[in-house]
A and B are shown apart, each in its own frame.
Chain A
Amino acid sequence: MDAKDILGLPKTPLSVPPEKKSQPKKDSQRKPDGISREVYALTGGLAPLMPSIDSSYLKKRPPSDEKITWQWLPFTNSARKDTLQLYHWVRVVNGVPPTGDYSFAKYNKSIEVTKYTDEEYAQHLTDPSWTKQETDQLFDLCEQFDLRFVIIADRFPSSRTMEELKDRYYSVCRSILLARASSPADVSGHPLVKENYNASQEKERKRALSMVLSQTKQQEKKDAEVLAEAKKIAESRMAAKGVEESVMPATENEFPETTIDHNTLVSLSNVRLAPVAAPPSTLVIADTSSTLASLRMLPVYLRTYALEQMVQQASSSAGLRTIKRVEQTLQDLGINLKPRVPTKAVCAEHLELRKEILTLLNLQKQLQYKEAEGSSLREGTTYSEMPGTPKDRTFIPDAMSFGGNTCLCATFLVKGPGRVSETPSSPANKRPRKMKASDL
């Protein structure tokens, strides 16, 4: 700060922090009501979500009519099997000690392990791989250790895998449940009946888990790479089905593309990827036959989809405005932009119609260009009127009048053949106007 003074720099940066400091101070002064300022600041200057203990509650403590004493009294715990008596401090209100069981007795929960009789065992539970003795041992352990199979597996006298033990236990329980049930419907809701324990599935699951857990970093990286490649290939296959821009002749480009695909397929051969003959990653289409070729690569496609592709391909050389004009023309002719009954014949006709309209628009442009050229050559000499197109009520756009001799109106998108007159008039509109039958 002194240095800045010496240098003569303004003190403005200093003025900001004091303001900031005063603001939080004000906030903390305003907010807390029962807590001291420092404690409040510990919470970060924000009020707690839950209401803390009300300060008034802390102050008015002694209840008036109750006489409270604390006594050292004996108690019994119902959760214990013996009759041990211990002592603890008890809050006595007006000389009456609290009633009820020891408050923690309710937490002594235990699992009910089914018990079977010998007849039941003989009837339902015999199993070739398990002796009665083993099964009895298993159930004893289950009860002793609250179905903690990890311990049970460890303690089991003969070596059995945990899955085997679980399998035996659950199948026994299930059989008993079914045997004791009065009707199948009663127990059908029981989870054991609905979804039985599946030992092989468990083994697989655990094996898979341990595999994932024990993956080295290298393996992880490799897996991620493989997945990324697969995703790329799937995406490029999707793109190949829809892409239609021509860049180079079809034959030249397609061979290197297929080799690339082959290589990626080969490198991924150790991973179980379904070997599908992938189409070239970027389809190069120079003409309609290539669109057809790409369609035929598909196992199945919809006629409407095929038409869309062909239309796109046909209008690929045209700009967006031209495409809009084609659509406008179609509408004027009363044709749906998407045929209502797209059969093969209808789609073919539709496509041809679109192509013809494109030709038409191109010719119109050409004509205007020629006429503009003509008018610039003429320099004011009149000539016979162009025979206007007859009243074609459907879509003949009206006449546009060109400007005099200077502007090359062909650059503007103007519809229709024009009637050229020598008198300069307003320049051609930029937007094509809709048809007016009366004009011509």
Chain B
Amino acid sequence: MTNSSSPKRNEQDQPETSGPVLKSLKTKLSKPEDAEKKIVGKKLKDVEISVPIVYGNIAFWLGKKANEYQSHKWTVYVRGATNEDTSGVIKKVVFQLHSSFNNPTRVVESPPFELSEQGWGEFEIAITLHFHSDVCEKPLSLYHQLKLYPEDESTSLSIKKPVVVESYDELVFPEPSESFLARVQNHPAVSVPRLPVGFTLPTPAEDPSERKRVDTKDHPLTQWFTNFSEADELLQLAAARQQVQTHIAKLRRQITVIEGQQQQLKPSSDQ
């Protein structure tokens, strides 16, 4: 399961140093440069919210029912990485399909944010996420290449086993508004870093648990979803870094040895 609950210290320090510069630029009012974490307006600095999402498609071959123009039934979707409800963050999703489809601009206003169609061709789908107004004013676009046929050409098409292509990514909101933060404080789909000491948030206006949650845990396609675990990747990276670091150390030793030798030889050499 993905989680990024504790931000790294070095990353948090860096924004602080750039903070004063940023503030003097962003605010046209005259605010004193302050090294403390300040709340400018209604946005919070140095607290970033990240929402892990997964987007992709699942395609089933229609087998006997397939004809020339509709050989596959596919679903393109955006879901929370842990299959939790993302409707608190995402207001609507617009899928832009190939122009040969009827009404190629499909808008999905409520979760689950997905679109099913039948077709024969693979093309790039532009997925535009529109957020609630207190989350973010501007929409964000993702691009996904629809895949119907398995990578391995030799595997025969089967009706039961679909082709699944998913991509993991995280939506980062570097300066979330107070209301957004209050709303998603304990939301399972959203990871919020620990707030600085002495910082209190106003209690949210509506109880988030009362709002109907639609998550993808009971989705019929759940069995095909990929489980993205950062643990494997972290291990891989750590191992690689270890190797590189040992190598670096060796090289450094070699360099010093050579330098030492050169120092000894230099006075005696006659060029």
Contacts and interface: CB of A to CB of B under 8 A. Distances in A.
A346 B231 CA distance: 9
B63 interface: no
Given A342-B169, A364-B251, A377-B266, A370 B258 contact: yes
A251 B232 CA distance: 41
Q: Interface centre among A250, A292, A346, A389, by most B CB within 10 Å?
A: A346
Interface string B1-36: 010100110010011011001100110100000000
Contacts of A392: 243, 247
A296 B252 CA distance: 37
B50 interface: yes
B233 A367 contact: no
B269 A348 contact: no
A334 interface: yes
Contact of A367 (B11, B230, B244, B251): B251
Contact of B138 (A280, A300, A370): A300
B238 interface: yes
Given A299-B136, A346-B237, A340 B269 contact: no
Q: Interface centre among A333, A344, A352, by most B CB within 10 Å?
A: A344
B247 to A, nearest CB: 6
**Contact-size category for A:** 35 or more
B240 A333 contact: yes
Interface string B193-223: 0000000000000000000000000000000
Interface stretch (A52-60, A76-84, A378-386): A378-386
B41 to A, nearest CB: 11
A154 interface: no
Contacts of B66: none
A35 to B, nearest CB: 48
B251 A302 contact: no
Nearest to A396: B247
Nearest to B89: A300
A306 B14 CA distance: 15
A292 B228 CA distance: 26
Contacts of B11: 344, 348
Contact of A288 (B2, B14, B140, B250): B14
A367 B248 CA distance: 11
A383 B250 CA distance: 20
A323 interface: no
Interface string A40-77: 00000000000000000000000000000000000000
Interface residues of B, number: 62
A366 interface: yes
Given A345-B230, A392-B243, A302 B262 contact: no
A296 B237 CA distance: 26
A328 interface: no
A386 B50 CA distance: 50
Contact of B261 (A292, A341, A383): A383
B170 A417 contact: no
A290 interface: yes
A151 to B, nearest CB: 42
A343 B14 contact: no
B224 interface: no
A298 interface: yes
B172 A300 contact: yes
A344 B230 CA distance: 10
Given A344-B4, A363-B248, A377-B271, A371 B236 contact: no
B259 interface: yes
Given A356-B248, A378-B265, 13 more contacts: A277-B28, A296-B15, A296-B48, A296-B175, A298-B174, A300-B135, A301-B172, A302-B169, A302-B170, A356-B241, A363-B255, A374-B262, A394-B243
16 contacts: A292-B18, A293-B18, A296-B15, A296-B174, A298-B174, A301-B172, A301-B174, A304-B169, A333-B243, A334-B236, A345-B4, A345-B230, A345-B234, A346-B237, A370-B255, A417-B254
Interface of B: 2, 4, 7-8, 11, 14-15, 17-18, 21-22, 25-26, 28, 48, 50, 52, 131, 135-138, 140, 142, 168-175, 228-230, 232-234, 236-238, 240-241, 243-245, 247-248, 250-252, 254-255, 257-259, 261-262, 265-266, 269, 271
